[in-house]
Amino acid sequence: MAHMGVGRARAAWAVGGHAVVAAHTVLGACAFVAAVGVCVALHYRRVVKNHVAGWPDEFWPSVSATVGDWFPERNVFQIVIAATSGPRFVLVGLCALAAGLQHRSRRAAALLAVGVARTLACGGWVYITSTDHALVHDVAMGLYIGLTPLWMALCAASLAPGPQSPHAAAHRTAQRVRAAAATAFYACTPCMVYLYLQHRRHRVPGAYSRYALFEWGLVVFDLAYDAASAWDLGRFTIRIEYADTQRVAAPAEARAQSEAVREPSLLVWVASQVYLAFTAWSCVTCLVSLVFYFSVSNMGAEGHELLVLAPVGGLLVASVPPVRRCVAARRDGAVAVGPLAPRVRAALWAASWATIATYAVASPLARLVTAAACAALVAVVSALEWAAAWEAGRLDEACATWLAGWVALLVARYANHANVPVWPFLDASNGGHHVSALVLGAMSLVPLLGGGAARLPSAPVRRHTGPGGRARAALGAVAFGTWLCVLQTLLSDAGTLAAWGWTGYPVRGPMGVPHGVLVIAAFAAGVLAALHTPALGLCRGVWAAYAAGCAALFYLDDWASFAGGLLVAATAPTMALPLLQSALTHDPLVALLGAWAVAVVQWFVGVLTVAYAFLPGAWVMREHTGAVLAAQGVLLVAGLHAARTPEVTTRLAVASSTRRRSFRRALYVVLGALVGVACVVPAVRRVPAHRIVPYHAADRVFTAGIWTVHFGFDQAMRDNTRRMARLFRELELDVVGLLETDLHRPAFGNRDLTQYLAEELGMYADLGPSPKKHTWGAVLLSKFPIVSSTHHLLPSPHGELAPAIHAVLDVFGVHTHVIVSHNGQEEDALDRELQTTALAELLAATYPAPAVFLGYLVTLPHMNRPSPYGILFHEGRLLDVDPRDLDRWCQYLGFRALERVAYARVSRFTVTDTELQTFKLRVPLTPIAADRDVLPRKLPYAERPAAPWAYPASLIRPHMRLNETHRYGPEPYPTYFAPP
C-alpha cells in the first residue's frame, strides 16, 4: 500500500506472516515436484535402478537419487530450494519472535538455534549430494532428521498466543494440523526401517521403491508441519517503509497525472486482454487431447488421465487456507478477492505460457505435465480475474474480452487448418508459431503493467449469501461448468458444426472451409449481443433458441443441422455473463472449482459415448450423445433460471458511462478485425478444380492406399498431417482411405486432418460418418471426382461402432466403387462377422462394376467364414491384391474389374502405429471380366517397368530395419505384376 501527502511522502510495502509460510511451502513443494517430474521424464529407468533390482520391480525413485544423481533435475532442485531459503529463515525468525513474546527468551533462542541449524543441515545434504561425498551427505541428512523432532516439539510448545488473544482459535487449528503431520511423519519411521532392511539385508526386489514412497511421505509431512505455522504467524506483518521529504502531489492529483501520462489507449488494452484470453483458452483446450493421447497409445488407463483434473487441482490448492490468504480475504464476513497487483498478474500470465514454450521439449510426458500445470494456473488466474472484476462491477467487460479471446481461438484455428498454432503438439514443421506467440504475449503484458485502463476501482464488500444464495451460486457453478464443456465440444473449431451434419457427396450441406466463417460470425454476434444487453442470456427465448439449435444439430443433417449449430453459436455466448454473475455471488474459488469439476466430468462422459468398449460399465453411455446434449441443456436452463433474481439482474443492469461506451467500441473493432480475417481465409485456402488431377492419367494407372493414422498424432505426440502429406506425395497416391480420423471431439482437440491434406495434396475429401454417429471415423481422399458417397454404420451389437464410406469415383471416365471401412477388434468376433457381411453385401450389390476395397478387417488371410477374409473376398466377389502375402492381419486391399499392376507395403516409421498399404491399378480401355482371378506372375525387381507410374526407388532401403524410417516392408522391394 502507499500513502502520499503534501510535504512528505511515504511508500510502504507490507506482507503478512502467513504469506511467508505460503511462499516457503509452495517453493519447497515445487522444488521436490519439479525434481521428481524431470527425473521421471528423463531418467526414469536409471533412477529407479539400484544394486538389487531395476524396473519394473523397482518403480519409484528415492529422494536422494531424485535430487542428487542426475542432471538437470539435481540443478533444478538446487535452484528452487535455494529460493526457499529466504522464506525459510524468515519463518524461523518469526517463530522465534512468537515464542519470545509469550515465553522466556531462552526458549526463543533455542527455537532459533535449532531452526537455523536444521536449515543449514538441509543445505548440507542438498548441495553435497551422495555422489559428491557420501559421508558428508549422510551426516548432514542424519543431523537434519535428528533435529526434526526437537524442532517439532519446540514449535508445538512455544507458539501459543496469550490466553485472551483473538488468535487462539487459529492456534488450535495449527496444533491440529501439526499433530496430524507429526503423527504421520513418525508413523512412517518403522515402515521405512523394515523396508530398508528388506532391501539391504534380504535383497527383496521392489522393497526400496516402497521404502522411497515412505521417504517421500516424510518430505510431504515435514512441509505440512511447517505450513501449519501460517495460522500462528498470521498475526505478524512485515512492513518496509521509505520516506521522502520532497513534496509530492496529493493522492487524487498524482493518480490523475499518472493516468494521463501512462494510460495506453483503450483499444490497445482490449486487444492485449483478448490475446491473453486466447492463450488461456489455447492451454485449456489442448489438455484433454494430450491426456487422451496417452490412453490411446497405451490402449488403456495408466494414471495419466488424472491430469485432466489439473484445473480442479489448481483451484483446490488456491483454496488451501495458507495460499488462500494470499489471494482472498474476508471483509465483514464476506469473501473478497480484489484486484491483483499488475506485476503479479503479469507474472502469472507469463508462467501460464510454459505450455507454449514446451513445443521445443521432445518428451511427450514433460509436455503433458507442463500443460496440466499451466491449465491449473489458468483456472486460478481466470477465477481471480473474474472475481476481482465482479467486485469492481466490471465483470461484463472481463467476460466480453474472454469471449473475444475464444473468437480469436476460432480464427487462429480456421487459418491454421483446424490447429491452434500455439499447441504443444505442434512445432515449426507442422503449423506451430510458438515463438511469434510468445513475443506477442510479452507485448500484451505492457498495457497490463502500464495501469490506467487495467486498473479496477476499489472493490465493494461482497454481499452475504444465505442458504438460497448458496444454492443459486451452486447451480450457477454447475451450469457454468456445463457451458465450458459445450463450448469445447461444439464451438472450439469452426468446422465442427459442419462435420456434425455432413452426409457426403454430392455436397448438400456446408463444409468447414468456406462455411466455418459463419460459425465465427455467429459467435462474435453473440458476444456483441451479450455486451450490449448483459441480461439477454436470462431470456426464455434465448433458452428456446438454444434448445432448438441443439435438437436440429443432432437430429437433422446438412444445412438444417448447420442452421441449428449457428443458433447454438449465437446463443451460447449470451449465457456466460449471467452464469458467472450468479456463481460468483458466493466464494469465487469454490464456485469455479465446482465449475471446472463439472466440465471435466462431462468431458469424460462425452468420451464414453464412443469409447464405451474400453472401460467397464461404460456401455451405459453407448451412443447417448443426444442424452448428453439434453442433460447439458437442462443444467444450463436450471442455472440461468436460478439467476433470474434481483441480486443477479441488478448487477447485470450496468449503467452506461463514457468508459463503457469506449470499451464497447474498442471491442467492436477487435471483433470486426477478427471476423474480417476469417472472411479472407477461404479465399486463401481455396483449392481450384484445376489443381485436383491424378498423377498418371496418360497411363490410366492410379495408386490407392489404406492407413490407420491413430487420430492424427505421431509417436512423439506431434500432429502428423504434414508427415502424412509428404509420404502421400512421394508415393503419388491418387486415392487414400484413412481410419481413426474423427477428431471433432474434445478428446482429440476438435481437429480436422482432412483440411490440410486436401488443400496441400489437391484432393477431394469425404469425412466419414459424422461425430454424432459415435465412430472413430473414416476418411476418403481422392484426386478423382466423387460422384456420390454414402456413410454406413456397420452392425455392432457388442463392440464399438464400425464406420464405412461407399463412394463412386469417376476414375478416368469409369465409375468405380470405393469402400473405406474399419471393422471392430478381435475381441468381438460376432461384430466382425456381421460388419464384414454388410460390406460384402454392398460390394455384391455393385457387381460387376469396378470396385476397390480399402479397409481394416482384423483377420488372417484365406480363413473362411466366420472369418472376415472369407466373407469379404468370396461373398463380396472381390479379388485380393496379393493372396500370396500371408503376413497380414489388420489392413487389406481388394479390387474387381481392374488390372493389378503393383503392390507395396510401407513401414510406418514413427508417424502412427500401423503400416501404409498401397497398390497400383490400371483402368482398362475395354471392360474385363469381374470374376477373373488369374494371379499374374510377380516380376523380379530387375524386370520392374521403367514407367513414370512405378513406385519411387527412394523407399528401397534394405539396409534399414523396419520402422527406422519409411521403407518398403516386410519385402524390401515393391511387387510388380506381369501384364495379363
Which residues are 2's β-sheet partners? Answer: 11
8-state DSSP, 863: P
Across the range 947-971, mean pLDDT stands at 93
Q: Decide: 339 and 384 in contact? Cβ < 8 Å.
A: no
Name the residue type at position 111: L
Q: What are the helix and strand counts (H, E) for the chain?
A: 30, 19
Whether 328 shows a pLDDT value over 70: the answer reads no
Q: Is 393 helix (H, G, I), strand (E, B) or coil?
A: coil
Across the range 645-652, mean pLDDT stands at 86
Percentage of residues in the chain having pLDDT higher than 90? 55
pLDDT at 466: 60
C-alpha cell at 370: 507442463
968/345 Cα distance (integer angstroms): 55
Q: Decide: 681 and 418 in contact? Cβ < 8 Å.
A: no
pLDDT at 735: 98
CA atoms within 13 A on the CB side of 907: 20
Average pLDDT for the chain? 87
pLDDT at 537: 95
Q: Is 818 helix (H, G, I), strand (E, B) or coil?
A: strand
**Among the ranges given (4-8, 124-128, 237-241, 511-515), the one the predictor scored with the smallest mean pLDDT:** 4-8
CA–CA distance from 539 to each of 479, 530, 575, 881 (Å)? 16, 12, 10, 62
pTM for the model: 0.76
- Within 10 angstroms of residue 861's Cβ, the number of other Cβ atoms is 19
Q: Decide: 630 and 518 in contact? Cβ < 8 Å.
A: no
8-state DSSP, 238: E
Q: What is the 3-state secondary structure (H, E, C) of 754-793?
A: HHHHHHHHCCEEEECCCHHHCECCEEEEECCCEEEEEEEE
438/444 Cα distance (integer angstroms): 10
43/35 Cα distance (integer angstroms): 11
Enumerate domains of the chain plus CATH numbers: 480-586+597-685 (no CATH), 689-977 (3.60.10.10)
pLDDT digits (tens, 9 = 90+) for 878-914: 999 999 999 999 999 999 999 999 999 999 999 999 9
Whether 195 shows a pLDDT value over 80: the answer reads yes
Rounded to the nearest 5°, which phi and psi values hold at 462?
-70, 140
pLDDT at 124: 81
- Within 10 angstroms of residue 773's Cβ, the number of other Cβ atoms is 18
**Among all residues, which ones are annotated catalytic?**
822
311/377 Cα distance (integer angstroms): 7
Question: In angstroms, what is the C-alpha Rg of the chain?
Answer: 32
Whether 131 shows a pLDDT value over 80: the answer reads no
pLDDT digits (tens, 9 = 90+) for 339-386: 778 888 899 999 999 999 999 999 999 999 999 999 999 999 999 999
Q: Is 436 helix (H, G, I), strand (E, B) or coil?
A: helix
Cβ-in-10-Å burial (0-12, 13-18, 19+) of 493 comes to buried
CB burial readout 185-194, b (16+ within 10 A) else e: beebeeebee
CB burial readout 85-113, b (16+ within 10 A) else e: bebbebbbbbbbebbbeebeeebbebbbe
66/72 Cα distance (integer angstroms): 10
CA–CA distance from 41 to each of 35, 67, 306, 904 (Å)? 10, 14, 17, 38
- Within 10 angstroms of residue 763's Cβ, the number of other Cβ atoms is 24
- Higher-confidence residue of 255 and 366: namely 366
**Would you place residue 737 in the very low, low, confident or very high pLDDT band (cuts 50, 70, 90)?**
very high
DSSP readout, 16-72? EHHHHHHHHHHHHHHHHHHHHHHHHHHHHHHHH--SS--TTT--S--HHHHHHSSTT
54/46 Cα distance (integer angstroms): 8
